[in-house]
């Protein structure tokens, strides 16, 4: 049996589709807040063994004697504008600690979702070297909760037999329609171009960055799924926290131009001020150091931003399709 948390979310629902495609059907138990009906389309047609609400999962998990082969803990509260730290302590930090503790006691392999948001303003670099992780300074409560769990994990003397923490960089792709403000810039760009014929990017508020030259390590969901499957299949690799990015930062200006190109619409780009409520916590540059994962034998054939955006737009966004 495989357990997948966050199965209705963006990455989780895409991972469920990937698992089905790999032959995992009636042996997958999925966990989420299934009362949020606006995410139902993410899981339509997926084959699972059981649907379990997140509020009852932990008690069941701690008590069940059923054989569990792997935990994929992708579920989390991901709103970077939420200021209430207690929400993140409950849903991200303490929930994850309980999962880790059972996986350790029962020796169940575990893959869990961390985030590149833990790197903060990037002043301490973007290396996933464990020795550097305690020095990071996240910029918002969401990122802090992910960072706190990463630090706690590294302090544990007893661990699952195999475990991977996934520092997801800027992931984009189908099944993120429900995320609203937290959806990828590609989705927002597509929607804005479709509605107005133009795209407004955030103006830079730092003198060393030109407008539109804020940069991110954008990674297509297909690459994220391939990396997760790589570790599921290769549990002889070194346990630890790994970056899940491409290793190549691209500007928002590049992103907007690629989206106009994929939509076959002439470029029309302007700039607006970054909203005040996120201005102080806004990351101007992220770029994953992928050397650790590549050293473990991952082939690193990442999708280019242009190819990823073209597939996302033409196969999914233009027809509102799900993966």
Which residues are catalytically annotated? 142, 179
210 DSSP 8-state letter: -
Angle between helices 54-63 and 95-106 (to 10 degrees): 20
| Pairing relationship of beta strands 215-216 and 250-251 according to DSSP bridges | antiparallel
The residues, any chain, with a CB within 8 Å of residue 93's CB and separated by 6 or more, are 145, 148, 149, 152
Neighbours of 188 (CB within 10 A): 16
Among candidates 39, 46, 79, which has minimal Cα distance to 176?
Answer: 39
Rounded distance between C-alpha atoms, residue 74 and residue 96, angstroms:
10
Helices (H) and strands (E) in the chain, counts: 11, 13
């Amino acid at each position: 049996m495989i357990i997948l948390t966050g199965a209705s979310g963006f990455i989780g629902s895409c991972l469920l589709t990937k698992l089905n495609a790999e032959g995992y059907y009636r042996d997958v138990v999925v966990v989420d807040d299934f009362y949020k009906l606006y995410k139902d389309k993410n899981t339509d047609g997926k084959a699972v063994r059981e649907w379990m609400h997140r509020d009852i999962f932990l008690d069941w998990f701690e008590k069940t004697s059923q054989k569990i082969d792997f935990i994929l803990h992708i579920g989390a509260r991901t709103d970077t504008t939420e200021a209430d730290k207690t929400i993140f302590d409950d849903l991200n930090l303490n929930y994850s600690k309980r999962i880790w503790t059972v996986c350790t006691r029962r020796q169940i392999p575990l893959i869990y979702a961390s985030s590149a948001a833990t790197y903060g303003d990037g002043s301490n670099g973007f290396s996933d070297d464990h020795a550097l992780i305690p020095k990071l300074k996240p910029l918002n409560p969401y990122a802090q909760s992910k960072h706190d769990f990463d630090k706690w994990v590294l302090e544990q003397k007893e661990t699952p037999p195999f475990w991977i923490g996934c520092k997801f960089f800027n992931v984009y792709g189908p099944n993120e329609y429900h995320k609203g403000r937290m959806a990828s810039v590609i989705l927002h760009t597509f929607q804005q171009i479709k509605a107005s014929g133009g795209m407004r990017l955030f103006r830079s508020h730092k003198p060393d960055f030109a407008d539109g030259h804020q940069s991110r390590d954008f990674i297509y969901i297909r690459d994220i799924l391939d990396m997760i499957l790589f570790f599921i299949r290769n549990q002889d690799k070194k346990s630890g926290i790994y970056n899940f990015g491409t290793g190549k930062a691209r500007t928002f200006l590049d992103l907007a131009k690629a989206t106009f190109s994929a939509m076959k619409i002439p470029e029309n780009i302007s700039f607006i001020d970054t909203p005040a409520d996120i201005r102080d916590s806004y990351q101007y540059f992220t770029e994953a150091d992928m050397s650790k994962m590549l050293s473990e034998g991952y082939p690193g054939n990442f999708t280019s931003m242009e190819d990823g955006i073209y597939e996302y737009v033409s196969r999914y966004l233009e027809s509102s399709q799900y993966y």
